[in-house]
Copies of this chain bind each other. A is one copy, B any other.
Protein backbone atom coordinates (compact mmCIF):
# COMPACT_ATOMS: atom_id res chain seq x y z
CA UNK A 1 0.00 0.00 0.00
CA UNK A 2 1.45 3.32 -1.09
CA UNK A 3 0.96 6.08 1.48
CA UNK A 4 0.51 9.34 -0.34
CA UNK A 5 0.70 13.01 0.50
CA UNK A 6 -1.06 15.36 -1.88
CA UNK A 7 0.42 18.81 -2.38
CA UNK A 8 -2.24 21.08 -3.83
CA UNK A 9 -5.99 20.78 -3.34
CA UNK A 10 -7.18 22.72 -6.39
CA UNK A 11 -9.18 21.41 -9.32
CA UNK A 12 -6.56 18.97 -10.53
CA UNK A 13 -5.59 18.00 -6.98
CA UNK A 14 -9.18 16.99 -6.36
CA UNK A 15 -9.12 14.74 -9.42
CA UNK A 16 -5.97 13.07 -8.17
CA UNK A 17 -7.44 12.66 -4.68
CA UNK A 18 -10.31 10.61 -6.09
CA UNK A 19 -7.89 8.36 -7.93
CA UNK A 20 -5.54 8.00 -4.96
CA UNK A 21 -8.48 7.05 -2.75
CA UNK A 22 -10.05 4.81 -5.37
CA UNK A 23 -6.92 2.80 -6.10
CA UNK A 24 -6.68 -0.45 -4.15
CA UNK A 25 -2.91 -0.10 -3.71
CA UNK A 26 -2.71 3.53 -2.54
CA UNK A 27 -4.11 5.53 0.34
CA UNK A 28 -4.37 9.28 0.77
CA UNK A 29 -2.77 10.19 4.07
CA UNK A 30 -2.51 13.96 4.01
CA UNK A 31 -3.09 17.04 1.92
CA UNK A 32 -1.61 20.54 1.94
CA UNK A 33 -2.53 23.73 0.15
CA UNK A 34 -1.60 27.40 0.45
CA UNK A 35 -5.34 27.98 0.68
CA UNK A 36 -6.23 26.39 3.99
CA UNK A 37 -9.91 26.17 3.06
CA UNK A 38 -9.19 24.14 -0.05
CA UNK A 39 -7.12 21.68 1.91
CA UNK A 40 -9.78 21.43 4.63
CA UNK A 41 -12.50 20.77 2.11
CA UNK A 42 -10.55 18.06 0.32
CA UNK A 43 -9.48 16.53 3.61
CA UNK A 44 -13.07 16.33 4.80
CA UNK A 45 -14.27 14.70 1.59
CA UNK A 46 -11.58 12.03 1.65
CA UNK A 47 -11.10 11.64 5.35
CA UNK A 48 -7.40 12.55 5.31
CA UNK A 49 -5.33 14.89 7.44
CA UNK A 50 -4.58 18.49 6.53
CA UNK A 51 -0.95 19.34 7.09
CA UNK A 52 1.74 21.71 5.92
CA UNK A 53 3.82 20.73 2.92
CA UNK A 54 6.85 20.67 5.18
CA UNK A 55 5.16 18.25 7.57
CA UNK A 56 4.23 15.95 4.74
CA UNK A 57 7.73 15.91 3.32
CA UNK A 58 9.22 15.28 6.75
CA UNK A 59 6.91 12.41 7.58
CA UNK A 60 8.91 9.21 7.00
CA UNK A 61 5.71 7.12 6.88
CA UNK A 62 4.64 8.84 3.66
CA UNK A 63 5.99 7.02 0.62
CA UNK A 64 5.05 9.31 -2.20
CA UNK A 65 3.86 12.82 -2.95
CA UNK A 66 1.72 14.06 -5.76
CA UNK A 67 2.59 17.64 -6.71
CA UNK A 68 -0.45 19.51 -7.97
CA UNK A 69 0.58 23.00 -6.94
CA UNK A 70 1.20 26.05 -9.13
CA UNK A 71 3.81 25.63 -11.85
CA UNK A 72 6.39 27.93 -10.29
CA UNK A 73 6.72 25.62 -7.27
CA UNK A 74 7.15 22.35 -9.23
CA UNK A 75 10.94 22.21 -9.50
CA UNK A 76 11.52 23.15 -5.92
CA UNK A 77 9.03 20.63 -4.60
CA UNK A 78 10.41 17.86 -6.81
CA UNK A 79 13.85 18.55 -5.37
CA UNK A 80 12.65 18.73 -1.79
CA UNK A 81 10.49 15.62 -2.08
CA UNK A 82 13.12 13.44 -3.67
CA UNK A 83 15.64 14.69 -1.15
CA UNK A 84 13.16 13.60 1.53
CA UNK A 85 13.06 10.14 -0.05
CA UNK A 86 9.65 10.31 -1.63
CA UNK A 87 8.57 8.92 -4.95
CA UNK A 88 7.11 11.85 -6.90
CA UNK A 89 4.35 12.34 -9.42
CA UNK A 90 4.43 15.97 -10.54
CA UNK A 91 1.95 17.70 -12.80
CA UNK A 92 3.33 19.11 -16.04
CA UNK A 93 5.27 21.25 -16.79
CA UNK A 94 8.41 20.70 -14.76
CA UNK A 95 9.05 24.43 -14.94
CA UNK A 96 8.53 27.30 -17.33
CA UNK A 97 12.31 27.71 -17.50
CA UNK A 98 14.22 25.02 -19.32
CA UNK A 99 17.35 25.96 -17.34
CA UNK A 100 15.58 25.54 -14.04
CA UNK A 101 14.08 22.23 -15.13
CA UNK A 102 17.50 20.94 -16.08
CA UNK A 103 18.87 22.01 -12.71
CA UNK A 104 16.02 20.10 -11.10
CA UNK A 105 16.98 17.01 -13.05
CA UNK A 106 20.57 17.30 -11.85
CA UNK A 107 19.48 17.84 -8.27
CA UNK A 108 17.16 14.86 -8.18
CA UNK A 109 19.43 12.49 -10.06
CA UNK A 110 21.54 11.97 -6.98
CA UNK A 111 18.56 11.12 -4.80
CA UNK A 112 17.84 7.94 -6.71
CA UNK A 113 14.16 8.50 -6.09
CA UNK A 114 11.82 8.02 -9.03
CA UNK A 115 10.04 11.04 -10.52
CA UNK A 116 7.12 10.82 -12.91
CA UNK A 117 5.75 13.79 -14.87
CA UNK A 118 1.98 13.88 -15.30
CA UNK A 119 1.52 13.76 -19.05
CA UNK A 120 -1.91 12.28 -18.61
CA UNK A 121 -2.73 11.95 -22.30
CA UNK A 122 -0.28 9.08 -22.67
CA UNK A 123 -2.75 7.12 -20.55
CA UNK A 124 -5.88 7.98 -22.50
CA UNK A 125 -7.33 4.61 -23.57
CA UNK A 126 -7.78 5.61 -27.22
CA UNK A 127 -4.39 7.25 -27.55
CA UNK A 128 -2.78 4.27 -25.85
CA UNK A 129 -4.62 1.95 -28.24
CA UNK A 130 -3.38 3.97 -31.20
CA UNK A 131 0.18 3.77 -29.95
CA UNK A 132 -0.18 0.04 -29.42
CA UNK A 133 -1.42 -0.44 -32.98
CA UNK A 134 1.50 1.59 -34.28
CA UNK A 135 3.99 -0.35 -32.20
CA UNK A 136 2.47 -3.59 -33.46
CA UNK A 137 3.17 -2.47 -37.01
CA UNK A 138 -0.51 -2.38 -37.97
CA UNK A 139 0.06 0.57 -40.31
CA UNK A 140 3.70 -0.12 -41.11
CA UNK A 141 6.31 2.53 -40.45
CA UNK A 142 5.22 5.99 -39.27
CA UNK A 143 5.65 8.78 -41.80
CA UNK A 144 3.45 11.76 -41.00
CA UNK A 145 1.92 12.57 -37.61
CA UNK A 146 -0.80 15.17 -37.01
CA UNK A 147 -1.96 16.25 -33.59
CA UNK A 148 -5.03 18.43 -33.13
CA UNK A 149 -5.65 19.98 -29.72
CA UNK A 150 -8.28 22.65 -29.47
CA UNK A 151 -9.55 23.93 -26.13
CA UNK A 152 -13.23 24.80 -25.93
CA UNK A 153 -12.59 28.34 -24.74
CA UNK A 154 -9.56 30.49 -23.92
CA UNK A 155 -8.55 31.02 -20.29
CA UNK A 156 -8.62 34.52 -18.80
CA UNK A 157 -5.89 36.83 -20.05
CA UNK A 158 -4.66 37.05 -16.45
CA UNK A 159 -3.85 33.34 -16.68
CA UNK A 160 -2.30 33.71 -20.12
CA UNK A 161 0.15 36.26 -18.72
CA UNK A 162 1.66 33.83 -16.21
CA UNK A 163 1.23 30.68 -18.29
CA UNK A 164 4.55 30.79 -20.11
CA UNK A 165 2.69 31.08 -23.40
CA UNK A 166 0.70 28.66 -25.53
CA UNK A 167 3.70 26.58 -26.56
CA UNK A 168 4.77 25.89 -22.96
CA UNK A 169 1.33 25.82 -21.38
CA UNK A 170 -0.88 24.09 -23.90
CA UNK A 171 1.18 22.60 -26.72
CA UNK A 172 3.56 20.96 -24.28
CA UNK A 173 1.08 18.06 -24.12
CA UNK A 174 1.38 17.66 -27.86
CA UNK A 175 5.16 17.83 -27.81
CA UNK A 176 5.15 15.00 -25.30
CA UNK A 177 2.60 13.07 -27.37
CA UNK A 178 4.81 13.46 -30.44
CA UNK A 179 7.77 12.12 -28.47
CA UNK A 180 5.63 9.30 -27.11
CA UNK A 181 4.38 8.23 -30.54
CA UNK A 182 7.46 8.92 -32.67
CA UNK A 183 9.87 7.40 -30.18
CA UNK A 184 12.45 10.02 -31.11
CA UNK A 185 13.08 13.75 -30.83
CA UNK A 186 12.74 16.04 -33.85
CA UNK A 187 15.66 17.81 -35.51
CA UNK A 188 13.88 21.00 -36.58
CA UNK A 189 10.94 22.94 -35.17
CA UNK A 190 8.98 25.62 -37.07
CA UNK A 191 6.16 27.56 -35.46
CA UNK A 192 3.59 30.01 -36.72
CA UNK A 193 0.91 31.58 -34.59
CA UNK A 194 -1.50 34.42 -34.19
CA UNK A 195 -3.96 35.90 -31.73
CA UNK A 196 -6.98 35.69 -34.00
CA UNK A 197 -9.29 34.37 -31.29
CA UNK A 198 -8.68 37.22 -28.89
CA UNK A 199 -6.47 40.26 -29.59
CA UNK A 200 -6.02 40.68 -25.83
CA UNK A 201 -4.03 37.48 -25.88
CA UNK A 202 -1.81 38.98 -28.53
CA UNK A 203 -1.46 42.16 -26.50
CA UNK A 204 -0.25 39.96 -23.65
CA UNK A 205 2.50 38.68 -25.93
CA UNK A 206 0.99 35.30 -26.60
CA UNK A 207 -0.83 33.49 -29.41
CA UNK A 208 -4.12 31.60 -29.32
CA UNK A 209 -3.83 29.74 -32.62
CA UNK A 210 -0.64 28.02 -33.67
CA UNK A 211 0.80 25.40 -35.96
CA UNK A 212 4.14 23.71 -35.41
CA UNK A 213 5.87 21.45 -37.91
CA UNK A 214 8.72 19.22 -36.87
CA UNK A 215 11.07 17.11 -38.95
CA UNK A 216 12.90 14.01 -37.84
CA UNK A 217 16.33 12.70 -38.77
CA UNK A 218 14.85 9.80 -40.71
CA UNK A 219 12.48 11.94 -42.78
CA UNK A 220 9.35 11.67 -40.68
CA UNK A 221 7.29 14.81 -40.20
CA UNK A 222 4.93 15.90 -37.42
CA UNK A 223 2.39 18.72 -37.37
CA UNK A 224 0.68 20.11 -34.28
CA UNK A 225 -2.35 22.36 -34.48
CA UNK A 226 -3.54 24.26 -31.42
CA UNK A 227 -6.38 26.65 -30.88
CA UNK A 228 -7.60 28.13 -27.64
CA UNK A 229 -11.19 28.04 -28.89
CA UNK A 230 -13.35 25.34 -30.46
CA UNK A 231 -16.85 26.29 -29.44
CA UNK A 232 -18.17 22.77 -30.03
CA UNK A 233 -16.04 21.19 -27.33
CA UNK A 234 -12.67 19.84 -26.37
CA UNK A 235 -11.21 18.67 -29.68
CA UNK A 236 -8.41 16.16 -29.17
CA UNK A 237 -7.44 14.07 -32.14
CA UNK A 238 -4.45 12.16 -33.46
CA UNK A 239 -3.79 11.08 -37.01
CA UNK A 240 -0.78 9.07 -38.09
CA UNK A 241 -0.03 8.10 -41.67
CA UNK A 242 2.14 5.05 -41.99
CA UNK A 243 3.56 3.12 -44.88
CA UNK A 244 0.67 0.65 -44.68
CA UNK A 245 -2.23 2.75 -43.48
CA UNK A 246 -3.65 5.50 -41.33
CA UNK A 247 -4.42 5.52 -37.62
CA UNK A 248 -6.82 8.06 -36.17
CA UNK A 249 -7.99 8.64 -32.61
CA UNK A 250 -11.20 10.61 -32.76
CA UNK A 251 -13.07 12.61 -30.17
CA UNK A 252 -15.14 11.18 -27.36
CA UNK A 253 -18.72 12.30 -27.77
CA UNK A 254 -21.12 13.28 -25.02
CA UNK A 255 -23.52 10.49 -25.96
CA UNK A 256 -24.41 8.23 -28.88
CA UNK A 257 -27.69 9.82 -29.92
CA UNK A 258 -28.16 10.78 -33.57
CA UNK A 259 -31.06 12.92 -34.69
CA UNK A 260 -32.11 13.13 -38.35
CA UNK A 261 -34.48 15.89 -39.32
CA UNK A 262 -34.94 18.23 -42.25
CA UNK A 263 -32.09 20.23 -40.71
CA UNK A 264 -29.59 17.40 -41.14
CA UNK A 265 -28.20 14.50 -39.16
CA UNK A 266 -27.07 15.71 -35.74
CA UNK A 267 -24.70 13.83 -33.46
CA UNK A 268 -23.51 14.73 -29.99
CA UNK A 269 -20.62 17.10 -29.53
CA UNK A 270 -17.22 16.15 -28.15
CA UNK A 271 -17.07 16.27 -24.38
CA UNK A 272 -16.52 19.88 -23.41
CA UNK A 273 -14.46 19.68 -20.25
CA UNK A 274 -10.92 18.33 -20.17
CA UNK A 275 -11.55 16.47 -16.92
CA UNK A 276 -14.49 14.63 -18.45
CA UNK A 277 -12.44 13.82 -21.54
CA UNK A 278 -9.40 12.61 -19.65
CA UNK A 279 -10.89 11.18 -16.45
CA UNK A 280 -10.02 7.59 -17.42
CA UNK A 281 -6.54 8.82 -18.38
CA UNK A 282 -5.92 10.33 -14.93
CA UNK A 283 -6.98 7.09 -13.26
CA UNK A 284 -4.71 5.03 -15.50
CA UNK A 285 -1.86 7.46 -14.96
CA UNK A 286 -2.13 7.05 -11.21
CA UNK A 287 -2.35 3.29 -11.53
CA UNK A 288 0.88 3.35 -13.56
CA UNK A 289 2.63 5.51 -10.98
CA UNK A 290 1.57 3.28 -8.09
CA UNK A 291 2.76 0.18 -9.89
CA UNK A 292 6.14 1.70 -10.66
CA UNK A 293 6.56 3.11 -7.16
CA UNK A 294 5.60 -0.09 -5.37
CA UNK A 295 7.22 -2.54 -7.74
CA UNK A 296 10.39 -0.56 -8.30
CA UNK A 297 9.99 -0.54 -12.06
CA UNK A 298 10.96 2.51 -14.15
CA UNK A 299 8.54 5.42 -14.22
CA UNK A 300 6.55 5.40 -17.47
CA UNK A 301 7.07 9.16 -17.92
CA UNK A 302 10.33 10.57 -16.62
CA UNK A 303 11.69 13.93 -15.65
CA UNK A 304 13.76 13.72 -18.82
CA UNK A 305 10.52 13.39 -20.79
CA UNK A 306 9.27 16.53 -19.13
CA UNK A 307 12.42 18.38 -20.02
CA UNK A 308 12.35 17.16 -23.62
CA UNK A 309 8.84 18.52 -24.11
CA UNK A 310 9.85 21.77 -22.47
CA UNK A 311 12.84 22.12 -24.79
CA UNK A 312 10.55 21.71 -27.79
CA UNK A 313 8.16 24.33 -26.39
CA UNK A 314 11.07 26.68 -25.97
CA UNK A 315 12.23 26.04 -29.53
CA UNK A 316 8.72 26.63 -30.86
CA UNK A 317 8.47 29.88 -28.94
CA UNK A 318 11.80 30.96 -30.38
CA UNK A 319 10.78 29.96 -33.90
CA UNK A 320 7.55 31.90 -33.61
CA UNK A 321 9.37 34.97 -32.36
CA UNK A 322 12.12 34.94 -34.99
CA UNK A 323 10.22 33.50 -37.93
CA UNK A 324 13.06 31.02 -38.37
CA UNK A 325 13.30 27.26 -38.14
CA UNK A 326 15.05 26.13 -34.95
CA UNK A 327 17.55 23.31 -34.99
CA UNK A 328 16.91 21.06 -31.99
CA UNK A 329 19.14 18.22 -33.10
CA UNK A 330 21.89 18.93 -30.64
What string of 1s and 0s marks CB contacts (under 8 Å) between A205-236 and chain B? 00001110101001111010101011111010
Chain B proximity of A131: nearest CB distance (Å): 10
Query: In the complex, A170→B245 CA distance in Å?
Result: 20
A143 adjacent to B264 (CB under 8 Å): no
A330 sits at the interface (CB 8 A): no
- From B133, B146, B215, A259 is in contact (CB under 8 Å) with B133
A55 sits at the interface (CB 8 A): no
Chain B proximity of A296: nearest CB distance (Å): 27
In the complex, the chain B residue whose C-beta lies closest to that of A152 is B262
Q: Which of A63-71, A80-88, A247-255, A308-316 contacts B (4 or more CB under 8 A)?
A: A247-255
Known A126-B256, A265-B232, A323-B325: A192·B196 in contact at CB below 8 Å: no
Query: In the complex, A139→B188 CA distance in Å?
Result: 34
A262 adjacent to B245 (CB under 8 Å): yes
What string of 1s and 0s marks CB contacts (under 8 Å) between A317-330 and chain B? 00000011100000
What string of 1s and 0s marks CB contacts (under 8 Å) between A171-200 and chain B? 000000000000000001010111111000
Q: Which of A27-35, A114-122, A161-169, A266-274 contacts B (4 or more CB under 8 A)?
A: A266-274
- From B193, B232, B325, A262 is in contact (CB under 8 Å) with B232
Residues of B within 8 A of A143 (CB): 196-197, 209, 227
A112 sits at the interface (CB 8 A): no
Query: In the complex, A241→B229 CA distance in Å?
Result: 9
A286 sits at the interface (CB 8 A): no
A 282-326 contacts with B by CB, 8 A = 323-325
A195 adjacent to B219 (CB under 8 Å): yes
15 new A-B contacts, CB < 8 A, other than A194-B221, A196-B219, A231-B244, are: A125-B255, A129-B257, A138-B259, A139-B261, A144-B225, A188-B192, A196-B218, A209-B219, A230-B246, A231-B261, A245-B260, A249-B256, A259-B264, A263-B266, A323-B325
List 23 A-B pairs, Cβ < 8 Å. Answer: A133-B259, A143-B209, A143-B227, A144-B227, A146-B225, A150-B241, A190-B190, A190-B192, A192-B215, A194-B219, A211-B213, A211-B223, A229-B243, A231-B262, A235-B246, A245-B259, A245-B262, A246-B259, A249-B257, A251-B256, A252-B256, A266-B266, A324-B324
Enumerate the 9 nearest inter-chain pairs by beta-carbon distance, A residue then B residue, closest first.
A194-B219, A245-B261, A196-B219, A232-B260, A126-B255, A250-B256, A246-B260, A264-B266, A265-B267
